[in-house]
Amino acid sequence: MIQGRKMHYDPKQCFIAWVEAGSLKKAIKLLQKDGVVSPNGGKPSLPGIQRSAKRYVTLFPEEARQILIDSGYLYLIIDAEWVAYAIRAAAHCFGRGSLRFKNWLVFNNYWEHAVNMGFAQRGFVEKEGIYK
């Protein structure tokens, strides 16, 4: 598992709530009904829920893809659409220029896709010491 910021919310629960609700604001209401609270005891924060949900996509991409397809997001059946979605989620979670993001791209064999999308540059792999 790629380590990063401490997650205050369960990534899978946040992701499923977001998919079922259709928006982050509605997902927060669903999570509140399930008893999820912020670390300070209040309402869950929108950025925290979004980051946790996207973290689930980066940690378990195939499971997340299947959940989305089962929920009616059929355009993600196309591999190119899914790869673009996963790369954008990882860029949001890890930070576009971070070493963790670059390692995630290499580990998941998305480096060339990221280069074509403008999220990475050719030659960075060798400079940063990432094995590719």
Helices 99-107 & 79-94 angle (0-180, nearest 10): 150
Query: What are the extents of the domains in the chain?
Result: 7-77, 79-132
Phi-psi label, residue 20: left if phi above 0, alpha if psi -120 to 50, beta otherwise: alpha
As a whole number of angstroms, the distance between CA 38 and CA 78 comes to 36
Taking the model in full, what pTM does it have?
A: 0.77
- Residue range 24-65, pLDDT digits in tens: 899 999 998 988 887 777 888 888 889 899 999 999 988 998
Mean pLDDT across the stretch 86-109?
Answer: 88
